[in-house]
Chains A and B, each alone.
Chain A
Amino acid sequence: MGLLRFRTRLPRRTEVILGLAGLFAFLVAWHLTAVSGLIKPQFLPTPWAVVEAFGRLFTERNFAADIAISIGRVWAAFALSVIVAVPLGLMMSSYRAVGATLEPFVDFVRYLPVPALVPLLIIWFGVGEASKIAVLWMGTFFQLLLLVQDDTKRVPAEFVESGFTLGASQWQIMRDIIVPASLPNIVDNLRITLGWCWTYLIIAEIVAASSGVGHVIWSLRRFVKTPEVMAGIVAIGIVGLLTDQAFRYAHRRWFRYQDRS
């Protein structure tokens, strides 16, 4: 068996089998713990009870609409972050004056925990959609800004200097060299930032919402419907996993030139 050879590669099929086996082992351990009677069912239902609850969420509560609302909020806030952070990050790395002006402020805001901002944002924007999007935006924009600045700063000086000596203007170098050179890293960071959006979304929906996945989980908690609460968490995981895989797939498609094989 070459499975445990130090730092070796494995066939794709073997990796998939190992991944599924790990997941299966986790479910078996969970099931055995749940049916052993050591923990009360209202604290730890069986995996199957969670699956059943998952079905009930959709048939009895119109959970699909809540998921759609949550996804809409995440993407609206994410899009607003990206639209501002990408050009601004580019400017910060290209022009030292812009970077020096904004960095201290951005660093300050970046260290503020987003939950601490929620009360303020509710005072400002009420309990409607605006406050939720504001929470997500505050949580992602400043992080993304610095990530984009970093990605664009890492474009090799030779690329930029080649551009100048090939006759490109500053603006053309930004458009034709900095952007394409840093885009693979930026897209990767967008994927990671989108994951954070979900964290902040659930916080926002628990605190002030009458719809969305976070609201559903929080309101079911009051009736100790543990299987449904867990099913809600699983739903977030599934949406996150699908989004992540979509991003990875797009990354491979768009940046095929990075393939080495």
Chain B
Amino acid sequence: MTGQIISIIIGAIIVYLAARVLWKSIAEMKAGKCAGCSGECSACGNVPAEGRDRKV
């Protein structure tokens, strides 16, 4: 029984985190940013996705 309860709690946390991350990633990708983009990556540090200005 305890194992089942722990499983449900851990499962719920994983699903919540996955849903949150997916939601955020899709929003970022729609904006033309890589998934998991920190905004500081050297790949496009000079060509930020959000517009012309960029704060460092």
A, B co-complexed: no
